[in-house]
Structure 1
Amino acid sequence: MSVFSWNCRGSGGPSTISNLSRYLRSTGAPLAFISETKCSEKTAGKRIARLPLQNCEIIPSQGRGGGLWMILGNEVSVNVLETSFSFIVAKVQFGPAAKPWLLFAAYDDCDDRRNIEIWNKLSDYTATCELPVCAIGDFNCITDQSEKQGGSSKLKAKHTKFRSFLHRTGLMDLGYSGLAYTWANNQNGRSLILERIDRAVAAADWVNLYPNSKVFHIPNYSSDHLPILLRTEPKPKRKAKAFKVEQWWSLQHDFGDLCARAGHNRD
């Protein structure tokens, strides 16, 4: 299964929807979280109609900011539990035989109040939810200086707090493959700043369920954010070891009785 996440920086650009459609077709992701769409519910419906995924949960923008979409195909079951300007929380299940888990899709728009809201809400779900928890999206935070290029070399207070938040909740960063940074300030030369602020994190039970999961940073030119793709593979089932009988066992006087009792207990 795959989950696609992208801060598209407004869905009204001439290439945004066509690029999004290509991303969804090429990745085959049956579930996508799109943030900063900057459009109303009515407009969102018209634009989503052009995408390969049709089922949706829409959080309209407020003024010229925000806007969230969770769009999905028929092969995934989603039960939306809670929404706000900054997040969508849903119970997801990829197929009837798959184990359900909780997806927390986040969008931090640089407002410190919403930043705290996201962390507090995600912390509550991680602590109380019986389902494995995974969070994905634009957290607008780095965890250390290695996730940044350009600008001040000093970490902001919220970046340090974000790292402490992940440590306190036990949420693990799922890493990435591809380009090192997911956001650029679209400047040139010494003014250019690059940061890794889009990511996926998960609780230990989710990681145990999907130990082979991978996050990919996808190249993009129509937004200041790169899309990220979370691919998961279920934990492989252990094959039962073949039980071998040593020939000399049959020479023991009570071997027949032991076999009879073992067969009776198994029945």
Structure 2
Amino acid sequence: MKLLCWNVRGLGMPRTVRRLQQMLRDLNPSVVFLSETKLRSAQMAQVRRRCGFTKGIDVDAVGRSGGLSFGWKNSCDVSLRSYSQRHIDVIINEDYDEKTWRCTGFYCAPEEQHRAAAWNLLHQINDMPGIPWLIIGDFNEIAFLNEKQGVNKER
């Protein structure tokens, strides 16, 4: 199974949607997680369906930030566990080799004062130790200062 995770930084522009569609055609993933869509859930659902992912869950952006989408193709057996402004948590059953695993799409708060709550969310939903768990997304964390891009480099 192929999975694509992308921080799209906004799908409001037709050019970005075309780029997403091309990437999905080239890579042909079964599951896609998009963060920072900056769209309302109804708008994101339209984009997701146009990209060939008829099933999924979309979470509203708040103002001009955030927004999540987790989509999967009809051939996938995916069950939604929970979602919030910061995560979408699903169980994936792969019929061809009878494997069940968990995938959580995560978007950590970019503001430092909100990060602890976002990380605590992962601790709270960590309630299924018996199956493999993949956490994907944008953690808004860096290991080394030289990894940081942008104007605010003193953190």
Query: TM-score band, normalised by the shorter chain?
Result: 0.7 to 0.9
Match of 2:25 in 1: 25
CA contact (8 A) 1:75 1:95 kept: no
Q: Which residue of 1 aligns with 2:12?
A: 12
- Structure 2 counterpart SS, 1:48: helix
The alpha carbon displacement at 1:95 in A equals: 2.8
State the alpha-carbon separation in 1 of the partners of residues 2 and 66 from structure 2.
24
TM-score normalised per structure 1? 0.52
- Aligned residues with identical type, % of pairs: 28
Contact 2:108 2:119 in 1 (8 A): no
Q: Partners of 2:25 and 2:105 in 1: how far apart?
A: 21
Asked if the contact 1:86/1:114 (under 8 Å) is kept, the reply is no
Q: Does 1:95 align with 2:95?
A: yes
- Alpha-carbon distance change, 148 to 43 in structure 1, aligned in 2, over 3 angstroms: closer
CA–CA distance in structure 1, aligned partners of residues 9 and 152 of structure 2: 24
In structure 1, runs of 5+ residues without a counterpart are 157-267
Counterpart for residue 121 of structure 1:
121
Residue 72 to residue 150, structure 1, CA distance change in 2 (3 Å): closer
Q: Quick one: which amino acid aligns to residue 80 of structure 1?
A: L
Equivalent pair of 2:17/2:47 in contact (CA under 8 Å): yes
Amino acid at match of 2:138: D
What is the alpha-carbon distance in structure 1 between the residues aligned to residue 75 and residue 142 of structure 2?
Answer: 34
Does residue 142 (structure 1) correspond to residue 142 (structure 2)? The answer is yes
Can you list the C-alpha shifts for 1:172-207, whole angstroms capped at 9, x where unaligned? xxxxxxxxxxxxxxxxxxxxxxxxxxxxxxxxxxxx
1:60 aligns with 2:94: no
Q: 2-side partners of 1:151 and 1:84: how far apart?
A: 30
| Equivalence for 1:179 | none
Instruction: Tell me, yes or no, if the aligned pair for 1:37 and 1:66 is still in contact at 8 Å.
Output: yes
Matched residues, number: 155
Q: List aligned pairs for 1:179-258, cutoff 5 A.
A: none
Q: CA deviation at 1:125?
A: 4.0
Whole-Å Cα distance in 2 between the matches of residues 152 and 63 of structure 1? 22
Q: 1:36 to 1:141 in 2, by over 3 A?
A: same
Q: 2:47 — aligned with what?
A: 47
Asked if structure 2 preserves the Cα contact closer than 8 Å seen for 1:3 and 1:31, the reply is yes
Change (3 A) 1:125 1:45: closer
Give matches, 1:149-160, under 5 Å. Answer: 156=155
Higher percent of residues as strand:
2
Q: TM-score, normalised by structure 2?
A: 0.85
Max radius of gyration: which structure? Answer: 1
Say which SS state the counterpart of residue 67 (structure 1) adopts: strand
Q: Per the alignment, in what secondary structure is the counterpart of residue 71 of structure 2?
A: strand
Determine if contact 2:109/2:118 at 8 Å carries over to the other structure: no
Measured against aligned partners, the alpha-carbon deviations of 1:200-232 in whole angstroms (never above 9, x if no partner) come to: xxxxxxxxxxxxxxxxxxxxxxxxxxxxxxxxx
Range with greater deviation from structure 2 (69-78 or 89-98): 89-98
1:38 aligns with 2:38: yes
Counterpart residue type for residue 17 of structure 2: I
